[in-house]
């Protein structure tokens, strides 16, 4: 049996919980989870799944970002750091984490977005996330920066994603590390 809870980053500072989250992410991403990736996952709402022994087995977070589309600024709940401990995969825990994050996105943001690995893309598409099929770029320190090597983000909910016109560029805010 597992328990799911959501909490803001500020509520995870005690009891080594943030340390446990970082350890899970480092293991799940095989050491390819950078300090910039870690910074992207902080400052918002986390979904955490613990097993009966109280050990963290799954995590994801949603942090606020902004995007501009057709002259309108959108509050975007950007999903970060979704991971399930290796021995607990394929038991629905990623879906539980995403369900909690989607609830937050639906209640607090105009749109959800995320960047997906090949394996993760299947989970998100099955949950109704749509890959953006229009042009996209980022507002960089020196203006608009094209992102030709980046995979387009996934957007949620589908109704909000479909309301965007793919003939117009989606601009995301700049950040250190991976832009998307």
Whether 26 contacts 67, CB under 8 Å = no
| Residue indicated by tokens 């959108």 | 74
What's the rounded Cα separation, in Å, for the pair 178 and 150?
9
Q: Please, are residues 43 and 175 in contact by the beta-carbon 8 Å criterion?
A: no
Rounded distance between C-alpha atoms, residue 93 and residue 91, angstroms: 6
Say yes or no: domain 2-173 is CATH 3.40.630.30.
Answer: yes
Q: So what's the pLDDT on residue 86?
A: 95
Q: What is the pLDDT of residue 168?
A: 96
**What pairing do the DSSP bridges indicate for beta strands 130-131 and 143-146?**
unpaired
Residue-level pLDDT at 118: 84
**pLDDT for the residue numbered 120:** 86
pLDDT value for 96: 98
| Whole-number pLDDT of residue 113 | 97
Per-domain residue ranges for the chain? Answer: 2-173
**Which three-class secondary structure state does DSSP give residue 62?**
strand
- Please check whether residue 113 is in contact with residue 65, taking contact to mean a CB–CB distance below 8 angstroms: yes
CA distance 151 to 80: 15
Here the tokens at position 30 are 């095989």
Low-confidence stretches of the chain (pLDDT beneath 50): none
């Amino acid at each position: 049996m597992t328990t799911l809870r959501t909490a803001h980053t500020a509520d995870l500072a005690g009891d080594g919980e943030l340390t446990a989250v970082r350890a899970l992410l480092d293991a799940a991403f095989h050491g390819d989870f950078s300090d910039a990736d870690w910074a992207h996952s902080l400052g918002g709402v986390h979904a955490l799944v613990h097993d009966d022994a109280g050990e963290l087995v799954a995590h994801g977070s949603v942090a606020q970002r902004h995007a501009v589309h057709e002259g309108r600024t959108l509050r975007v709940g950007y999903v970060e750091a979704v991971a399930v401990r290796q021995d607990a995969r394929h038991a629905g825990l990623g879906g539980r984490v995403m369900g909690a994050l989607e609830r937050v996105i639906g209640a607090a943001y105009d749109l959800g977005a995320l960047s997906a690995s090949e394996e993760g893309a299947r989970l998100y598409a099955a949950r109704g996330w749509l890959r953006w099929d229009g042009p996209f770029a980022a507002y960089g320190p020196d203006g608009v920066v094209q992102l030709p090597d980046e995979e387009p983000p996934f957007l949620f909910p589908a109704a909000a994603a479909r309301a965007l016109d793919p003939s117009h560029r989606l601009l995301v805010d700049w950040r250190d590390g991976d832009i998307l």
